[in-house]
Amino acid sequence: MSGNLYTTENMKNLKQLNDLASEQLQAFNDFNAAVFQDGALSRKEKEIIAVAIAHVTECPYCIDSHTKSAKKAGASLEELAEAVFVTAAVEAGGAVTHSTHVHNAMDNDASDVLYARSNLKKLGQLGKYAAKGFKGYSAFSAAATKDGKLSAAFKEIIAVAVGTATQCPYCIDVHSKNAEKQGATGEQLAEAIMVSSALRAGGAYAHMGNMIESYRD
């Protein structure tokens, strides 16, 4: 086995899956093909979302594959960079919003409901105790989601997909509302979420190349 855990050579091992788990492989391929068809979102838009989600799953194989697919579908490097900054902002937001649980843990009178919109009222405490950092986060989030090469509306669609991938209920709630305000449709959000689902599955799929290589070693 190569000393480099991430090498494109490992992808050749995926050919063995047809012998190892053919039924599951076919179902995965059919799922993936259905998700990336043109619909309420174009193939190009879906590939841009895929690149953003691949930076959540941190799968280098997925980043490589979907960056190339996005480029082939007509996405520019500027558009991809903006999409990935949406990922960075939403992931930062997940950490910020979950800080409310720290405050709840130290508050004997806090509700036992772990995920409640009322928790977000305690974000003011984070802004108080870490004012400069919180201000910097807020400015970054605003910059990442404003109109640019990608529209603010599409960025909010990406943000919803990222929120589902990171499993942050606060992020899903906030960005779903923002997306609706920006004019995103239910169909667009549903298709974006399916891209997120496919990329979560795809990370596991791609890493089976590493598993097979390790097994053979």
Q: Which residue segments constitute the domains of the chain, with CATH numbers given? A: 22-216 (1.20.1290.10)
Is the pTM higher than 0.85? The answer reads yes
Task: pLDDT band for 107, please (50, 70, 90 cuts).
Answer: low
Rounded to an integer, what distance in angstroms lies between the CA atom of residue 61 and that of residue 94?
A: 25
Task: pLDDT band for 6, please (50, 70, 90 cuts).
Answer: confident
Report which DSSP code applies to 58: T
Whether the pLDDT of residue 137 is over 60: the answer is yes
Q: What is the four-CA torsion angle of 131, 164, 194, 209, rounded to 10 degrees?
A: 100
Q: What is the pLDDT of residues 153-206, one digit of tens each?
A: 999 999 999 999 999 999 999 999 999 999 999 999 999 999 999 999 999 999
Please say whether the beta carbons of 80 and 53 come within 8 A: no
Rounded to an integer, what distance in angstroms lies between the CA atom of residue 104 and that of residue 62?
A: 37
